[in-house]
Structure 1
Amino acid sequence: MDDTFTDTRPGDRLGLDAEFITIRTIGCDGAPVSRLLVTDQTGDQLTVLATPDSHSLWPLKTGATYAFSRLLVADLVDTSASTPHSCPQCGDQLRPGWVLDTADSAVVSAADAFGIDERFLILDSTSSLARLSAGARTDDWVPIHDEPVTAPDYVCPSCGRHIDEFELRHAEHGADAEMHADASPGGLNCISNSETVGLATGGAKDVTNFRENVVNGYTPEPDAISDEGLFYDYYFETGERTATESLFAPRYAAAVTEHPISGETEQYLSVGLDSTLSVDEFERPRLDLVAVLDVSGSMSSQFDEYYYDEQGHQCEADTGGQTKIDAATQSLCALTEQLHVEDRLGVVLYNHRAHVAKPIRDVGATDMPAIRQHIREIAAGGSTNMEDGFAAAVDMLADGTSSSDVERRVIFMTDMMPNTGETGASGLTDLFADAAADGIHTTFIGMGLDANAELADAVSGIRGANHYFIHSADEFEQRLGKEFDYMVTPLVYDLELALDADGYEIEAVHGSPSGDAASDQLMYVGTLFPSAKQDGEARGGVLLVRLAPTDGEGSLALQASWTDRNGGEHTERTSVSLPDEPGPFTHNGVRKAVALARYARELRAWASDVHDGAATGTGVDDWLLPDQRGEHERESVPLVVSDQYAHRFATLRSYLADEMEAVNDESMSQELSLLNTLWRSNVQQEAEISK
């Protein structure tokens, strides 16, 4: 590495190659702290203190050279310095904060116990080290430049509390004190006076599977067009910004409008999902990532065909097309390109059993070109034990610790068709939920036209989870470059929106994978992820609540509560007035969300009717041998559009065309094209019947 210690300042993060001399460990504040003496490439002897929560130090060999990454540069605390301010908690006199104060208190004590009297380095939970063998290939990636670690403004020597300038002003001068930006751990700084990132719910991040099934002449699963997946294809105006110190800044608007097909009057509450997190200050956490790749037999089928036909028989593979395993391995290689040297990567392959193909290790200490070549050589075969694959991934991550600046995540690449081990949707959901409760989150990447959207929808509503469907590996690679950091960084958890008054009940929730969990008075959303903005509008940045009036009152009292990534709990109350009758929308974001929710609801109803009819139809021998096909292995259902739905789609198309013009969003034309395809399918069916 080219970094040197000479020109560093306290708070800098440093990477260096150094020769190990000796190590000594002592107990401080009930925890072990190790002091390493090393010699850098310039011959200078440096001191490194390893925090109790840093990576376990394997036996270090005197004279061996190690690559250290993201070491924190620190000075000793000047305990003689003081300020004229008092601690708001205990009343003792405050002293200025130092970078060392951001480390574990045991390290502060250890620095004094070891008698360190000059600038030194800290190996903490975000740092890593790897031995450099003689003649080994050098990793020539250029590490990202970390933002310096900022010392707290003030520290209380008595109670140990860290106090920032805003909190001190608030304590000394009351609530009217001047407001300053509040720096949160992990680089998540809430700066409301610059461009901010949007927010979007977890769950589906596209409706690719639905669109591609229709284009290829199949009727998609109803769950393939979830509201949150459709919303994430669009950007939404979220409403006027409100003054808040919280990272999450919800904005509310109401609408009363007539349904274009039924003519019924509907009441909606829109929740604009926005944040106070500056785009410039956003930084994804360090990743402990395990990629879990499905290598079962169904992954050998064609990417744009079904593994089972409509009679449940396995389809013959066309050797000319791209297979799901080809797309998966190409996508996994692209995904590894998004990792930083300080991230850790492991790989699990699974069919009827799991195989740890790559133990979790720092990317900077791994020959990544060789790993990518191994990935490209993977072949598919066997049954599908999703449970075993996930268990192997969790075992690799179990010893880690999740925090605001470390994200432990499993990325599943699969067609979601388990047929051995645990296969029940509830059992699998419990499996992923238990891991999420321990801070291990999951991203599901669905492969192929026949990827099981129903199971993906069920499991991706878990805390910290999301899922994508791949249309093509090239397209997914481009998408990774644009939003990988957002994809793996949940920011808000356990959002609850309660109707804190009589007069209305929640009839349905659009835009949340947890929408089915809503009660008459309570809506729940497990996770919000950051999302991109375009002209001030947030991608997928909306939740839509359809209301049912109970006594006709025109106002709605709301209470929203949530937990942010740093563990802070927030509650806010507000009230929203609902119009008495249909009228103008508050803003285009609400109008677009209502139109798209109606569109998705109509398509789900159609797909559900077709699939129900295919399951109960006559004239087809659909007898299957025991265990020949599991409950999650989907057979193809031909594209069928009845006269009834063709008429409804024609009305819906006219409505969407008007709404597209009203909200000035030409990208909605893709929905008009899909409705045209469905209408033409009905015409062709009628022509075939009349022959």
Structure 2
Amino acid sequence: MDITIEVISKVVDHLKPNDRISIITFNSEARVIQPMKKLSALNIEQLKHYLSIIHADGGTNMSAGIDCSALVFENVLPEANDDYDNRILFLTDAQPNQGSLDGTSFHSCIESLAKQRIYTTFVGVGVDLNTQSISLITKHRGANYFSVHHSKKFLKLLDKNFDLIMTPLVFNAEMKFQSDLFDIEHVYGSPECDQLKQGECIKINTLFPSRTDSNEQTRGGVVLLKLKTKQPITNTLNTAGRFSVTYEDRLGTKYEEKQSIDINIKNEINYANSGIRKAILLMNYVTLLKHWINHDREHKYNEKKTFLNLKETNIDQLSPWERKSTELIVSKQYQEQLDAFLIYFKSEMEYIQDKDLEQEVKLLTKLIEYEN
């Protein structure tokens, strides 16, 4: 809780005198700590003092928190204009155990707020973040989410990257792919990939900017397309693929761009850049881990289950959104697969020259050496 208070204090430092701020806490019920006011009208030191005495207790009633946030904005909206955006910064473990637990009213409130250009950023705090709940929440316009497990990442997110996570770049981004010789077999990296129609490769409600470093390199999201041929190809070495992108800006103005590319279909592995190579590496990494989790848990519970939909016995009477950790299981079969994959991973990491991939190496090594 201490690091949360420290980070929120730094968020206040990012605001300008004409920006408005309100602070709400919630457990079993919501409470307004600071009504909505311009920063210039507040005693900042006194506000930070109020923040410093906040402590965690009670349950988690997320519906109360979002409903209270909506009420706070009611008196502000008449003053809103195109120069300002409104955003709720919602800090939670995303495991509600009080109030409305079916999520219907909660999602309805977020959707209603988005229509008024009041958007929401969710920050999941702690390792118990319920990813299913957050994934549903962020399908709403203007919403985004982040998961933080330690103070350093928390501080970097809400201090150094404050402007990036609070400022949407475009809305309703859609990309379509057309080709006479190829169909899309699978899409990796698009949150709506399971609901895409043939030819659609991206459908994202909101896109946010990413920071570019001094070497003009950007760490951001990548969408990978796996293509399959519609029919056997013998003599054709290249074929054209046509991409079209549509999106709208924060004021609702719509744009469209089109581009054609030549796809080389020789049986050679070729990476256009190290970013694509890293994306493919991480896609293979995540796919293997998902297969391991499903296989070993299915074996333990002797029942077929899908990823993140595991029906362990609810002996603690948890709410539908609460989760409890389970015993780690790594079968010999998957330890061997992970060991073989680690060799490939290390060779790719050396080529890409990205030291941050060392955290994945440590995890793979731990799983390989784990004694059940």
**Bin for the TM-score computed over the shorter chain:** 0.7 to 0.9
Structure 1 position 611, deviation (Å): 5.1
**Structure 1 equivalent of residue 175 of structure 2:** 497
Residue-by-residue CA offset, 1:608-631 (whole Å, 9 max, x unaligned): 4455566668xxx94637xx3101
Q: Alpha carbons of 1:568 and 1:603: their partners in 2 closer, same or farther (altered >3 Å)?
A: same
Of 341, 350, 354, which aligns to 2:17?
Answer: 341
Amino acid corresponding to residue 594 of structure 1 in structure 2: I
1: CA distance between counterparts of 2:160 and 2:52?
23
User: SS state of the match for residue 161, structure 2?
Assistant: helix
**Structure 2 equivalent of residue 372 of structure 1:** 48
Amino acid corresponding to residue 538 of structure 1 in structure 2: T
Q: Alpha carbons of 1:473 and 1:402: their partners in 2 closer, same or farther (altered >3 Å)?
A: farther
Matched, 1:636 2:321: no
Of 92, 102, 122, which aligns to 1:424?
Answer: 102
- Pairwise mapping of residues 375-454 of structure 1 onto structure 2 (< 5 A)? 375-398=51-74, 399-400=76-77, 404-425=82-103, 428-454=106-132
**Structure 1 equivalent of residue 134 of structure 2:** 456
Amino acid corresponding to residue 548 of structure 1 in structure 2: K
Structure 1 position 474, deviation (Å): 4.4
Q: Which moved more, 1:419-428 or 1:370-379?
A: 419-428
Residue-by-residue CA offset, 1:411-433 (whole Å, 9 max, x unaligned): 11111111233323565444323
Asked if the contact 2:87/2:118 (under 8 Å) is kept, the reply is yes
Q: Which structure shows the higher strand fraction?
A: 1
2: CA distance between counterparts of 1:613 and 1:334?
47
Of 312, 315, 321, which aligns to 1:624?
Answer: 315
Structure 1 position 509, deviation (Å): 2.6
Asked if the contact 1:338/1:480 (under 8 Å) is kept, the reply is no
TM-score, scaled relative to structure 2: 0.86
Q: Alpha carbons of 1:478 and 1:503: their partners in 2 closer, same or farther (altered >3 Å)?
A: same
- Pairwise mapping of residues 68-79 of structure 1 onto structure 2 (< 5 A)? none
Structure 1 position 475, deviation (Å): 3.9
**Structure 2 equivalent of residue 539 of structure 1:** 219
- Pairwise mapping of residues 164-183 of structure 1 onto structure 2 (< 5 A)? none
- Pairwise mapping of residues 248-263 of structure 1 onto structure 2 (< 5 A)? none
**Structure 1 equivalent of residue 209 of structure 2:** 530
Amino acid corresponding to residue 599 of structure 1 in structure 2: Y
2: CA distance between counterparts of 1:616 and 1:342?
60
User: SS state of the match for residue 406, structure 1?
Assistant: coil
Residue-by-residue CA offset, 1:573-593 (whole Å, 9 max, x unaligned): 222222223332222222121
Structure 2 portions without partners, runs of 5+: 234-238, 304-311
Structure 1 position 492, deviation (Å): 0.9
Residue-by-residue CA offset, 1:35-83 (whole Å, 9 max, x unaligned): xxxxxxxxxxxxxxxxxxxxxxxxxxxxxxxxxxxxxxxxxxxxxxxxx
**Structure 1 equivalent of residue 27 of structure 2:** 351
The structure with the largest alpha-carbon Rg is 1
User: SS state of the match for residue 562, structure 1?
Assistant: strand
2: CA distance between counterparts of 1:464 and 1:403?
17
Of 357, 360, 364, which aligns to 1:671?
Answer: 360
2: CA distance between counterparts of 1:539 and 1:363?
32
2: CA distance between counterparts of 1:610 and 1:562?
42
Structure 1 portions without partners, runs of 5+: 1-324, 686-691
Residue-by-residue CA offset, 1:437-456 (whole Å, 9 max, x unaligned): 32111111111121212212
**Structure 2 equivalent of residue 217 of structure 1:** none
Asked if the contact 1:515/1:525 (under 8 Å) is kept, the reply is no
Of 596, 609, 613, which aligns to 2:282?
Answer: 596
Asked if the contact 2:187/2:225 (under 8 Å) is kept, the reply is yes
Report the RMSD for the aligned CA atoms in angstroms.
2.5
User: SS state of the match for residue 662, structure 1?
Assistant: helix
1: CA distance between counterparts of 2:80 and 2:278?
37
Matched, 1:558 2:233: no
Matched, 1:607 2:293: yes
Asked if the contact 2:297/2:329 (under 8 Å) is kept, the reply is no
Asked if the contact 2:92/2:123 (under 8 Å) is kept, the reply is yes
Q: Which structure shows the higher helix fraction?
A: 2
Asked if the contact 2:7/2:159 (under 8 Å) is kept, the reply is no
2: CA distance between counterparts of 1:394 and 1:623?
34
Structure 1 position 359, deviation (Å): 0.8
Asked if the contact 1:557/1:574 (under 8 Å) is kept, the reply is yes
Identity %: 28
2: CA distance between counterparts of 1:593 and 1:404?
37
2: CA distance between counterparts of 1:610 and 1:594?
24
Structure 1 position 546, deviation (Å): 2.5
Asked if the contact 1:340/1:363 (under 8 Å) is kept, the reply is yes
Q: Alpha carbons of 1:610 and 1:455: their partners in 2 closer, same or farther (altered >3 Å)?
A: farther
1: CA distance between counterparts of 2:142 and 2:168?
6
- Higher RCO (CA-CA < 8 Å; seq separation 6+): 1
Asked if the contact 1:506/1:548 (under 8 Å) is kept, the reply is yes
Structure 1 position 677, deviation (Å): 1.4
User: SS state of the match for residue 208, structure 2?
Assistant: strand
**Structure 2 equivalent of residue 575 of structure 1:** 260
What is the aligned length? 354
TM-score, scaled relative to structure 1: 0.48
Amino acid corresponding to residue 319 of structure 2 in structure 1: G
Asked if the contact 1:414/1:445 (under 8 Å) is kept, the reply is yes
User: SS state of the match for residue 539, structure 1?
Assistant: coil
